[in-house]
Amino acid sequence: MHVRLSKTFGFESAHWLPCFPPEHPCRRMHGHSFRAEVVVEGSFDPKQGYLIDLNDLTAATLPLEQALDHRCLNEVPGLDNPTSEMIAKWIWDRLKPVMPLLTEVIVQETCTSRCSYRGT
């Protein structure tokens, strides 16, 4: 039996995007109520009844949430250009070693904008 599970966490953060020209509004410091969704996928034995313990997924995402929440993302190591794309990859790079079934990270920056990353 094949399933796909997801866990969502939020973080309130500020950032500015140095990759944009100086006159671009995103070049100025601003903040977002980010949402990150991590997705694991795989087959499981119906006798066991689950793919992974969701508590393990929560435990794996908590340090990432704490590293990002109420921070200036440009100051987080590895996020000097904190676009949604780079945030998704940053989360992936830290989760994949401890969550081998990770298949996707989705970062929602605004109510209407999000990025999906599925590894390299």
Residues in the chain: 120
Are 40 and 100 spatial neighbours (Cβ–Cβ below 8 Å)?
no
The verdict on whether 26 is a catalytic residue reads yes
Q: Distances in Å between the alpha carbon of 49 and those of 4, 40, 41, 54, 118?
A: 13, 16, 14, 12, 26
Residue indicated by tokens 């340090």: 63
CA-to-CA distance for 98 and 76, rounded, in angstroms? 20
Set 26, 41, 104, 115: catalytic member:
26
Set 12, 19, 70, 75: catalytic member:
70
Active-site residue set: 26, 70, 109
